[in-house]
Structure 1
Amino acid sequence: MTRQIHEFNDIIRKLRKNLFGKGPERIQTIFVNDMAIATLYGNLSPSEQFIARTAEGKEMVHAARTRMIQSVYDSAAPEGMEELVGAKFVHLFSDIKIEDDIAVSVFLFDRPIDQKGTAGGKPDETR
């Protein structure tokens, strides 16, 4: 894994831990053109897992997580992210599948960031 992707994953993990009280257990990220695509595994806290045992609870956890993360990124990019990739953060597209505790976030930047990314476009992971 490249140092750049490792540091990018650390930024994501720290932000989500501060926001939700628990960061993802594993993050797999790939840089493609002007995007960073991150798949996050093991996101839900024990309280969220308990709430999500019902259909209404799943919807509540999904809505809260999706809206909270969007609102954080709407105000500004996390500290150090733009400097790390050498581009201005434009937008975050994010969703979570509560049943499988998997989230995907697509970070869009104003110019290509993959020139410093992984060779051959292969995904990198942190655990």
Structure 2
Amino acid sequence: MSKKVHEFNDIIRKLRKDLFGKGPERIQTIFVEKMAVSTLYGNLTPTEKFIASTPEGVAMVHAARTRMIQEVYSKATPEGMEELMGAKLVHLFSDIKIEEDMAVSVFIFDQNID
């Protein structure tokens, strides 16, 4: 793993730990042209896992997680991310599969980052 990927993953982990009280256990990121694609494993807190034990709970945790991430990134780019990438973050697409405790985020920048 390159130093740049490692530092990028650390930024994502810190933001999610600060936001949810637990960061992902493992992150895999690839850089492709203007995009950083991150797959995050082991995201859910014990409380979220308990809530997600019913279909209604799964929907609730999914909605809360995706909305919170989108809201946080729409207000401000995480500290150090744009400096590290040498580009401005213009879009974030993010989703989580509650049953597998796996999330994917696609970060799109204003210029090539790879």
Aligning the two structures, in what range does the TM-score lie when normalised by the shorter sequence? over 0.9
- 1:112 equivalent in alignment to 2:102: no
Residue in 2 aligned with 1:36? Answer: 36
Q: 1:48 and 1:7 mapped to 2: Cα distance?
A: 27
| Counterpart AA for 1:10 | D
Q: Tell me, what secondary structure is at the counterpart of 2:87?
A: coil
Residue in 1 aligned with 2:55? Answer: 55
Deviation, structure 1 residue 76 = 1.3
Q: Which runs of 5+ in 2 are unaligned?
A: none
Deviation, structure 1 residue 2 = 0.6
Q: 1:35 and 1:75 mapped to 2: Cα distance?
A: 20
Residue in 1 aligned with 2:66? Answer: 66
Q: 1:2 and 1:76 mapped to 2: Cα distance?
A: 26
Residue in 1 aligned with 2:20? Answer: 20
Residue in 2 aligned with 1:120? Answer: none
Residue in 2 aligned with 1:7? Answer: 7
| Counterpart AA for 2:84 | L
Relative CO higher for 1 or 2, CA cutoff 8 Å, sep ≥ 6? 1
Q: Tell me, what secondary structure is at the counterpart of 2:93?
A: strand
Q: 1:32 and 1:97 mapped to 2: Cα distance?
A: 23
Deviation, structure 1 residue 98 = 0.2
Aligned length: 114
Runs of 4+ in 1 over 4 A off after TM superposition: none
Deviation, structure 1 residue 91 = 1.1
Structure 2-normalised TM-score? 0.99
Alignment of 1:81-120 (within 5 A): 81-114=81-114
